[in-house]
Amino acid sequence: MRIDKSMQLFLKDISDKRNPKTVQKYQDVLSLFHDYLASYAELSYEEHKDTGIVLTAETLELEDGQVSDFLEWFLIRKVIGPHWLMTSAPGIMKAYIKWLDSKGLLAEGSMDDIVEISRKTTKDLPRVEKAASLLYTLCNKNSDRFSGDDFKDENYMEGYGEVIGMIEDKLHLNYDGEKTGPIQITKEIAKLLKKGDTVNLAVGRKDKIWYPLEVGNVYPG
């Protein structure tokens, strides 16, 4: 069965069991998943003047890595949406995949990790969203004290840093092999971040301490 057709049937199936507001959330998440698959999953699609891009790929081409990438990268990097999206999307994707499986529409073994992916992202997505928001607030405060022009090249770092350690309110990142820290954050942010997370962060060093200057997204490890 084509993926787009399966989404339509799934939504029709749940419409009798859930209220319209909940069904709309399911539809919104599946629409985003459709967009992700068409743009980044290298699956076949057609472009129509009236309906835009429509997937022509089959459900047998779906796999759990696509779901993981959709939840842990696409939603964070490409979508600006309401808070419920981060808290509800993992469960919605799990329900859709379980429905596909119950109908025999998945390749054997293609979604073995879906339960673990849903469990992990249900916890991780709200966590990294909150961490990014608090880092943004901190960077705004630091902008009153510093600017990027205040720092020489050796005292300035930007890009994607992997969290390699935290001690109270100090963060340590690995920027592509360049270990940087301690970075002054807050204890609240430190409680949200975990080793292995990736932070898109620009930092500047004054004396022995680095300070966050600009932040993008935070991705779960």
- What is the rounded average pLDDT of the residues 197-203? 97
- What is the rounded average pLDDT of the residues 49-64? 89
3-state secondary structure the chain: CEHHHHHHHHHHHHHCCCCHHHHHHHHHHHHHHHHHHHHHCCCCEEEECCCEEEECCEHHHCCHHHHHHHHHHHHHHHCCCCHHHHHHHHHHHHHHHHHHHHCCCCCCCCCCCHHHHHHHHHHHHHHHHHHHHHHHHHHHHHHCCCCHHHCCHHHEECCEEEEEEEECCEEEEEECCEEEEEEECCHHHHHHCCCCCEEEEEEEEECCEEEEEEEEEEECC
- What is the rounded average pLDDT of the residues 180-184? 97
Q: What is the pTM of this model?
A: 0.90
pLDDT band at 61 (very low <50, low <70, confident <90, very high): very high
- The yes-or-no verdict on residue 85 having pLDDT over 70 is yes
Please give the pLDDT value at position 47.
Answer: 86
- The yes-or-no verdict on residue 80 having pLDDT over 80 is yes
Percent of the chain at pLDDT > 90 equals 87
- What is the rounded average pLDDT of the residues 52-75? 94
Under 8 Å between Cβ of 114 and 99: no
Please give the pLDDT value at position 220.
Answer: 97
Under 8 Å between Cβ of 25 and 84: yes
- What is the rounded average pLDDT of the residues 153-158? 91
Q: Which of 149, 150, 128, 145 is nearest to 215 (CA)?
A: 128
Please give the pLDDT value at position 148.
Answer: 63
**Hey, what are 172's tokens?**
């340590």
More confident residue, 54 or 4: 4
pLDDT band at 39 (very low <50, low <70, confident <90, very high): very high
Please give the pLDDT value at position 149.
Answer: 72
CATH number of the domain at 146-219, please? 2.40.50
The total number of residues shown for the chain amounts to 221
What residue segments make up the domains of the chain, in order of their start?
A: 3-112, 146-219
Under 8 Å between Cβ of 153 and 144: no
